[in-house]
Chains A and B, each alone.
Chain A
Amino acid sequence: MIDTLAHASLPPPPKPHELATARAVTRAATGEAPAIRLLLIAAAILFLTLFLFAPLALVFTEALRQGVVKFIGALTQKEALAAIRLTLITAGISVPLNLAFGLAAAWAIARFRFPGKSLLLTLIDLPFSVSPVISGLVFVLIFGAQSLIGPWLSAHGIKIVFALPGIVLATIFVTLPFVARELIPLMQEQGADQEEAALSLGASGWQTFWHVTLPNVRWGVLYGVLLCNARAMGEFGAVSVISGHVRGLTNTIPLHVEVLYNEYAFSAAFAMASLLALLALVTLALKTFLEWRFAGELANGLRH
């Protein structure tokens, strides 16, 4: 030992009862004692139960509180069916548009270098940090009666605010980043080698894109579309501002849930809500499956 250095003696040898305790409680030297482990697991599960599992369970119990017949009745009401239809149409328009945007953005950003790239990346993320209410508000400002082009629009009989186009615009705004956010890191990871190889073998740009790029990112695309769709069908704040709540006409499922809830039709409200909860569960299941099965073919970024 280095005798010039301050000496610290070895701690006193353990007493027999200390040894017994060590044997009883410690398996891995740096882990927690089983009791603490159990306590932490219990605390985590309690937290998740209060904030996650209980709300989810409540949706289904409330939906079925008055029996299956009432439940089905609530879902097949004329207004309910109209809401479901509107939701499907909205998602059916906005998801493909955002998919096209995501592919274009990923192609430009992951395959080329250009000034202002990181600014562009930040701007693509912007809708995530804008309140949904503001996302709806901006389109009311542009297309509403008080706006610059409002009078012109109404003179020509074009309805955007309080109509399908407005709902779609707001939904696109809110769900814009999903596909792009999944594809950009994924395509950056994969690099351009395969595309360059295809081009060197004589493929055209489109052939390269269809036969090389898309197959390589197909699970990433599906992943992004899945999350984009879930948000598009479930968006509430943005759509609420711009839809005008015209029953049977401009109410999506989430808006219809609100209307029913505010009319104290709780069972019907939760019946509609259970549809969306089911959509959420299916989305989660598919998402988990994709992450499990195709982990190597997805971007490693944070999931939204």
Chain B
Amino acid sequence: MEISIKGVRKEFGSVAALRGVDLDIASGELVALLGPSGSGKTTLLRLIAGLEYPEGGQILFGGEDASLLPVKNRNVGFVFQHYALFRHMTVADNISFGLRVRSARRRPAREAIDARVRELLSLVQLPDIGERYPHQLSGGQRQRVALARAMAIDPAVLLLDEPFGALDAQVRKDLRRWLRELHAETRHTTVFVTHDQEEALELADRVVVMNHGVIEQSGRPEELYRHPSSAFVFGFLGSANIFPARVSAGAVHLEGMERPFAPAPAGQPDGRYRLFVRPHDLRPTDQPGLGFVGVVQEARFLEGIHRIAIAITGRRDPVELHLPAHETPPAAGSRIHLASERFGLFAA
């Protein structure tokens, strides 16, 4: 089911958690809400679920206004950060809960419920644990059971709050791939919240970056990474070297450097800026015209990449440069000349 969020606002006391959010989620899409803590991503998820009500704006489910529809009638599958599995119920009872609490008119027959539980358990690849209690499961198993429970009510949308936050690294990786496959198979409209950019970029069809209660940018992972539209997004996704810079006479100058860094992008007005450039977009160059010069401090090799720290006069932090494994890193102490055509310029 497609979901439309229009100008949604939410305050907690005097603190604005969401300050006018617009977002359209297509049916079957897998969307990540990414942002630092306090960015409003969890609040947005809870508003979609109906666990909170907006102070302004609308939330549409399939074109119908669902803004004030009580949570129990909203038919959303919510997976809580710590799963919130009912401790006194078996796994099977947890999964069937949403079906069993329906009014007699809408409640499936007992056999249908049992069949559905079996089906879901096999879907989450845990066919034999129906009679166990949550405390007898591992973290990853609990996560899957929570997902099965949420899917049991055949939700209009699946909402996951930091779905991998409580798991250790290896389980997290496995579950991520598994969730991706599961989504490809079931095509549930899915929204999940995360503060981990790697998780968002790896898993989602579309990533929505949030900060201070507004959406900074939304798009496909690659698009966001390559064309961040704000300083926040540039800095939040991946690493970046940040320089104070100025544009004048058709060229970009780093503060304190005599030669220009690069030609100014077409139509860029003169003025002061902050320049962002990714470590792997910097290239050593022999051409003396553009770029800057520094001294190699040290070079380390990690995960197939040379990571080189370069000291520059007048700058406290070293600049970071990444070179692919097959290239030979410059020796420590040597002078190096760097330039880049790919960078971001944002108002200072």
Q: Contact at A10–B156, with CB atoms within 8 Å?
A: yes
Q: Is the CB of A13 within 8 A of B156?
A: no
Determine whether the beta carbon of B123 is less than 8 Å from that of A2: yes
Choice from B1, B53, B66, B186 contacting A2 with Cβ under 8 Å = B186
Expressed in whole angstroms, the Cα–Cα distance for A26 and B62 within the complex equals 24
- Please judge, given known A-B contacts A14-B73, A27-B53, A30-B51, whether A8 and B68 are in contact too, CB under 8 Å: no
Instruction: Using A14-B73, A28-B52 as known contacts, list a sample of 13 further A-B pairs with CB atoms less than 8 Å apart, ordered by residue number in A.
Output: A2-B188, A5-B119, A6-B116, A7-B154, A8-B154, A13-B64, A13-B66, A14-B66, A14-B68, A23-B68, A29-B70, A29-B71, A30-B71
Q: Which 3 A-B pairs have the closest CB atoms?
A: A13-B64, A22-B68, A19-B68
Shortest Cβ gap from A4 to chain B (Å): 7
Assembled-state Cα–Cα distance A29/B62 (Å): 22
Secondary structure of the B contact surface, majority rule: loop
Cross-chain pairs A/B with CB under 8 angstroms, 22 sampled? A1-B154, A1-B188, A5-B119, A6-B112, A6-B116, A6-B154, A8-B106, A8-B153, A10-B1, A10-B62, A10-B75, A11-B75, A14-B65, A19-B65, A22-B53, A22-B69, A23-B53, A26-B68, A28-B52, A29-B51, A29-B70, A29-B71
Q: A82 CA to B109 CA in the complex, in Å?
A: 77
- Would you give the shortest CB distance from A123 to chain B, in whole angstroms? 32
Given A7-B154, A13-B64, A29-B52, A1-B187 contact (CB < 8 Å): yes
* B-binding residues in A (CB < 8 A): 1-2, 4-8, 10-11, 13-14, 19, 22-23, 26-30
Question: Chain B residues near A13 (CB, 8 Å)?
Answer: 64-66, 69
Pick the residue among A2, A26, A30 that contacts B151 (CB under 8 A).
Answer: A2
Interface centre among B1, B153, B186 (most CB of A within 10 A): B186
Interchain nearest-CB distance for B191 vs A (Å): 15
What residues make up the interface of B, taking CB atoms closer than 8 Å to A? Answer: 1, 50-53, 61-62, 64-71, 73, 75, 102, 106, 108, 112, 116, 119-120, 123, 151, 153-154, 156, 186-188
Chain A, residue nearest B69 (CB): A14
A96 to B116, CA, bound (A): 66
When C-beta atoms are compared, the residue in chain A nearest to B158 turns out to be A1
How many angstroms between the C-alpha atoms of A23 and B58 in the bound complex? Answer: 13
Q: Return chain A residues, CB-CB under 8 Å to B119.
A: 4-5
Min CB distance A46 to B, Å, is: 30
In the complex, what's the smallest C-beta–C-beta distance from A270 to chain B, in angstroms? 48
Partner of B73, one of A2, A6, A7, A11: A11
Chain A minimum-CB-distance residue to B153: A8
Least CB separation from B109: chain A residue:
A6
Bound CA–CA A223/B52 (angstroms) = 42
Alpha-carbon distance between A4 and B154 when the two chains are bound, in angstroms: 11
User: Which residue of chain A has the shortest Cβ distance to B123 in the bound complex?
Assistant: A2
B110 to chain A, nearest CB (A): 13
* Whole-angstrom distance between the Cβ of B189 and the nearest chain A Cβ: 9
Q: Which residues of A contact B123 (CB under 8 A)?
A: 2
